[in-house]
Amino acid sequence: MALRIISRHLLQKPAAWRYSTAAFPSSPQAKCQEYERPLMKTTVPGPKSQALKRELSAIQHSDAVKFFCDFSASRGNYLVDADGNRMIDLLTQISSIPLGYNHPALIEILQDPENMSTFVNRPALGILPPLDIVRLISESLLLVAPRGLRQVQTMACGACSNENAFKAVFFWYRNKQRGGSASHEDLESSMLNQMPGSPDLSILSFNGGFHGRTLGCLSCTHSKAIHKVDVPAFDWPIAPFPHLRYPLDEFTAENAHEESRCLEQVEEQIEAYSRRGRPVAGIVVEPIQAEGGDNHASPDFFRRLRGLATKHGCALICDEVQTGCGATGRFWAHEYWNLDSPPDVVTFSKKMLTGGFFFKDELRPDASYRIFNTWMGDPTKVLLLHAVLRVIREKHLLEGTQRAGVVLLRGLTQLQEQYSNLLSEARGQGTFCAVTVRDQKTCDNLLTSCLNKGVVLSGCGERSIRFRPALIFTEQHANIFLEIFDSVLAECK
């Protein structure tokens, strides 16, 4: 049944796309010659990667670097490193490569002479946009706009998308409070970081959430201490995110109780901060807590959270930076919730190639320069997104993601049963999957062993392995991975 769940935007009927066929001209049928399997020549990192890391370390901190990539040799689902090791990539540059490596549709965009100006001249979009920017946005972002959200603002990355979404919410909330735009007193006091121009407002976030590493976003990020330590934080409320048992449909009663407990805490925090004179202007939440451990909640949880936001006059900000653009099998993960009223803001980046946020009309800024920076995104990324969306539609990649996700999750569940001393809590939507490992040391060892057998993966949360393949990941690729993972688990002591 899961295989038939299809995206409102991309797969139900052409009319849902709100496009003319001229908006997506057919591309030449060039094919990416993908490799058949991983091929390892050295352990990872190999000697060339190690030498490059020493050179990089001389000029910047590089302890987080795993290995250096040969992107020109990489193809489709396979990433090649500096030492010629060919690995199947289930991380995809932290969930940000939509069509795999060197996809011909994207190469074609760069090779088209008509696109030269877009790549050579990066405009300050807020004041001097290119003449074709309305067409570019209309034929890409607006085609996949979440239901009920007609406004969109491009940005450079996920963190600045969330940061500016918070600002838009604060502007909206203050305009509601005072019944109009900023007064002279507001303007003057803001220059001194004082009220009323610098209001004491807050954003409610959840334990385990990750929303970026800029200052405002860090106050809403609660996944790892290393992200936050030594950085001043706002006194903003933090609510518990449900800690559920998997699979969700086998533990409905106890999971519902846990979700109710968390929602009660949400409302208590909203009311408590209002009494303290620091009202909650917005609630930010991920459909699946990605960095925090791939933590899920039910559609009912999010529907009730939407109700609480409405009840208390807060904006609901849905952070789809990692879940957006089809990884869960629907274009937007929040489509699974079947909300009566959509989120007020939906932020995006990663697989969308451009950052930004969609928002309701009433959150539109009331003056110039309120949401502003030099670039406010990059038209080249919107141009590439245009091609990505065409391929998603023409190749039915959301349906493919659903099929591949069924194979991947079924395989993880079977391995969990076979290696119950090592794995538990296999979970996921589409190919946006994860499995919990018995302890952090074992998790790290499994990731290292997988890498040296030709699989690029990453951990998340305290001791989980997450899977973030490209949208071109198929059942065949899932089976290649599962075969290798089985051998790694068999060797684990």
Q: Which residues are catalytic?
A: 210, 319, 350, 374
Residue type, 406: V
Helix (H) or strand (E) holding 196: none
Number of H helices, E strands in the chain: 14, 14
* DSSP one-letter string for 228-262: TTTS------EEPPP---SSGGGSHHHHHHHHHHH
Give CA angle at 334 (330, 338), nearest 5°.
95
Q: With 0-12 CB in 10 A as exposed, 13-18 as middle and 19+ as buried, what is 20?
A: exposed
In angstroms, the CA 282 to CA 75 distance is: 42
The β-bridge relationship of strands 455-456 and 86-89 is parallel
Six token digits for residue 398: 């959301």
**Closest Cα to residue 101, out of 478, 472, 405?**
472
**Closest Cα to residue 148, out of 409, 417, 342, 430?**
342
Six token digits for residue 255: 């999971």
Instruction: Give the CA radius of gyration of the chain.
Output: 23
What is the SS3 assignment for 427? strand
In angstroms, the CA 101 to CA 92 distance is: 9
Q: What is the DSSP letter of 147?
A: T
Residue type, 186: D
Six token digits for residue 189: 């006091």
- Say which residues have a Cβ less than 8 Å from residue 275's Cβ, sequence separation at least 6: none
Residue with tokens 């139900």: 12
Cite the DSSP H helix spans in 375-471: 379-394, 397-418, 440-452
CA 230 to chain centre: 26
Give CA angle at 375 (373, 381), nearest 5°.
140
In angstroms, the CA 436 to CA 243 distance is: 13
156: β partners: none
Q: Are 119 and 321 in contact (CB under 8 A)?
A: no
In angstroms, the CA 326 to CA 97 distance is: 12
In angstroms, the CA 342 to CA 325 distance is: 17
